[in-house]
Amino acid sequence: MNVDGSVSVVGLGELLWDIFPDGPRFGGAPANFACSTAALSNKFDVAMASAVGDDELGQNALQELKRRGVGTSAVAVRSEPTGTVHVSLNETGHASYQFAENTAWDFLSWNDGLEELAARTQALCFGTLGQRNQTSRETIQRFVQSTPDSALKIFDINLRPPFYDDDVIQQSLRICTALKLNDEELPLVAKLSDASGSDYELLPKIADRWKLNTIALTLGASGAALWHDGTLFKADGVETTVRDTVGAGDSFTATLAVGLLSGCDPQHVIERACEVAAFVCSQDGATPEFPDRLKFV
């Protein structure tokens, strides 16, 4: 579909600060998605739907979103603290996470502002972590179900043990139109879908089980695959020197959303998504500035 600047793209869920050994960096998968979407294209009205605390980190998060061109009118300010996660990197730059609990985004509650935003949303991204609390889970699922039927509703599964269960995954699969997952998450989704076969054989089976139009499977350094409108597209991995992997998957999802909303050829979309993710891996932080060659014009 072709779009103009009135179309809203929404990051829905956790908004937090990644606490690295050298200091805090802005993050949270849906927030990374929103910031990357705004950085990749100026054609969309990008917004964040979440909550922050009435504290310094919360104010800094709102300022960071605004600086990156992401709307904050649907970000509530609550009494709970702004979310944080302590990030550890191994020798290859791959990250592990320790999340603070009972933070502001855990208590994201339904309100008129979310209802208004949902009604004009044409693409969104949500995951499992944002649904670890019953309050935020109900709000996130209500938001997804309140968007137009034509919206691109991406469930980026983004598993963070122990903050998920089979019910949340299955509920999310029922309400999304597109799924993004990695090769480590594929076996779990295949099991929940009663599907078997090779990685590529699983994609149409999972799509059929949950009535999905689109599935994107990332394969690390080996590239990615995209099942879209009944056709399988593949892309090789892009060589890069890994600084850290934080945000790479979120930038991949953002590229997928921008490309599909812009009506680009799916083969081009999956190749560009691999290029963008590889670039993010080569940089410090989850949402670096993108060179013009990676942007959509």
Written as six digits, the tokens of 164 are 């998920």
What does pLDDT average to in each consecutive run of 10 residues of the chain (297 residues)?
60 93 90 97 96 98 97 97 90 81 98 95 98 98 98 96 95 99 97 97 98 97 96 94 85 98 97 96 84 89
Written as six digits, the tokens of 85 are 């996660």
Q: With H, G, I as helix, E, B as strand and everything else as coil, classify residue 92.
A: coil
pTM: 0.94
Q: With H, G, I as helix, E, B as strand and everything else as coil, classify residue 140.
A: helix
Q: What is the pLDDT of residue 243?
A: 82
37: left (phi over 0), alpha (psi -120 to 50) or beta: alpha
CA distances from 262 to 17, 112, 151, 207 (A): 31, 29, 13, 22
Fold observed for domain 8-13+29-44+119-294: UDP-N-acetylmuramoyl-L-alanine:D-glutamate ligase (3.40.1190)
Instruction: Give me the residue spans of the domains in the chain.
Output: 8-13+29-44+119-294
For residues 282 and 290, give the distance between their C-alpha atoms in angstroms, rounded to a whole number.
Answer: 12
Residues in the chain, how many? 297
Q: Is the link from the previous residue into 21 a cis peptide, with omega within 30 of 0?
A: no
Check if the beta carbon of residue 251 is closer than 8 Å to that of residue 296. Answer: no
Written as six digits, the tokens of 124 are 């969104």
CA 9, 100, 81: angle at the middle one, nearest 5?
75
